[in-house]
Amino acid sequence: MRTLRTLAFAALLAAAASPVTADPRSPWLGGVVFSTRGYSEGSAHAAGEYLDLGLFVDPFELAVLRPSASLRLIVPLFPFDAGRIEGAAGLDLELFGLRRHPLRAIMAQASAYAPALSASRSFSFLDPPSGEWAIGAHPIRLRTGDARYSFLAPELLFGPGFEPAGWSLKLFEFSYLIFEEPRR
């Protein structure tokens, strides 16, 4: 047990010493987010393509374990059905930001590889307790000075009682920072 604690402490020290982003203080507080996704057959959502639209806040300038929160609408896009529009509230936890990453050549501006974990709760406007929990990962996620780009983010879905309810896949998610922090 002592060896395990020593290894865990060494891993935390190595992560803290790794070259993470040390960006200057950003004036941005939050912005808009949109993504497109699909759900598995066993989930509470009908087959088709869904669009998430929402707002998010990213209030902390942390180099590791950077949290953000969002409120979204989940819109069934193809086929469109206004009666099945749902809401969702979620939290993201960006694990770290790494400046020197293999995908930097495809970006026009300076970027950081910034994988994240997410948790959200969707709810129907007609029957709020009937929604699903979603626990996800964003393994391919890049952050620039004013945006975040995530590709192929899987999620595990759980019912209201936290029983397994299927899975979903966000094909892409774009978050654009547009709200400025008030000046003091």
Question: What one-character-per-residue DSSP string does 104-172 give?
Answer: GGG-SS--EE--EEEEEEEEESS-GGG--EEEEEESEEEE-SSEEEEEEEEEEEE-TTS-EEEEEEEEE
Q: What is the pLDDT of residue 88?
A: 95
pTM of the predicted structure, to 2 decimals? 0.78
pLDDT at 19 over 60: no
Of residues 146 and 19, more confidence is placed in: 146
Which of 17-31, 70-84, 153-167 is predicted least confidently?
17-31
Domains of the chain: 29-180 (2.40.160)
Of residues 10 and 110, more confidence is placed in: 110
pLDDT at 18 over 90: no
pLDDT at 174 over 80: yes
DSSP 20: B
The pLDDT tens digits of the residues spanning 126-141 come to: 887 778 899 999 999 9
Euclidean distance between CA atoms 119 and 135, whole angstroms: 5
pLDDT at 92 over 80: yes
Pick from 110, 106, 136: which is nearest to 121 by CA? 136
Q: What is the pLDDT of residue 125?
A: 85
